[in-house]
Amino acid sequence: MTIKVVRVYETKGKQFRRVQDALDYREGLVDAFMRECPGFQDVPLKRRIAFVQHVLENRARLRDLLDYASNVDYDED
């Protein structure tokens, strides 16, 4: 028996042997989140897939757009 290095990718408390499996898991979480959005179920399936893919491909831009309040100095009177 030999000693070998095992790489594990962990996200949201779950461990995966392959990075692609971890990415697929996270993308599944995004899809689950989108299914909770009002009206998303009314979008045809083919369009839903394109919509979620667009969100995933542009997540850095979306994160930047949603992070507008984190650096605001609120004046407390």
| Position 2 in a domain | no
Structural domain of 47? 9-66
Residue 55 inside a domain? The answer is: yes
Q: Tell me, yes or no, whether 76 lies in a domain.
A: no
Indicate the pTM of the whole model.
0.68
Residue 3: inside a domain, yes or no?
Answer: no
Element at 66 (helix H, strand E): helix 59-66
Residue 1 pLDDT level (bands cut at 50, 70, 90): confident
pLDDT of the residue at 68:
79
- CA angle, 13 then 19 then 22, to 5°: 40
User: Is residue 27 domain-resident?
Assistant: yes
Tally of domains in the chain: 1
Percent of the chain beyond pLDDT 70?
A: 90
pLDDT at 24 exceeding the cut of 90:
yes
Mean pLDDT in residue range 33-52:
91
pLDDT higher than 80, residue 70? no
